[in-house]
Amino acid sequence: MYKTHYLQLALDDLKEIIRYITQELEAPGAAENLRIKIDEEVKKIEENPFRCHLFISPEKLKYEYRILNVNNFSVFYVIEKEKIEIHRVIYSKRNIPHILKERP
């Protein structure tokens, strides 16, 4: 089984998402449910990380990302040997190729 590791940038993404939902949308329950759902779905890819499709970007990216969709968010990860690196967690309606190219 693969081990999952979150890069600091992905952790920062999650913190900002949770903060936004909790404070701006005033929905702490929804924020906690999303956090739990993301954790559950990431655990599932540890068993078979190749089940998620490759992210096809119109722009050249530094990494070959796989994408895990959780509700309205996209979790971008890279498979390296026996490790899964979670690089980003991004709201799905944003300009994802631009964000990934700007801060991989």
What CATH class has 3-102? alpha beta
Summarised one tens digit per residue, pLDDT across range 37-62 is 999 999 999 999 999 999 998 878 88
- Concatenated DSSP letters for 43-96? HHHHH-GGGSPBPP-SS--SS--EEEEETTEEEEEEEETTEEEEEEEEETTS-H
Distances (CA, A) of 41 to 72, 99, 103: 13, 22, 24
DSSP designation for 24? I
Where do the structural domains in the chain lie, given as residue ranges? 3-102
- Give Dmax (Cα) for the chain: 41
pTM for the complete prediction?
Answer: 0.90
Element (H, E) at 32: helix 28-47
Kindly state the average pLDDT of the residues 32-40.
97
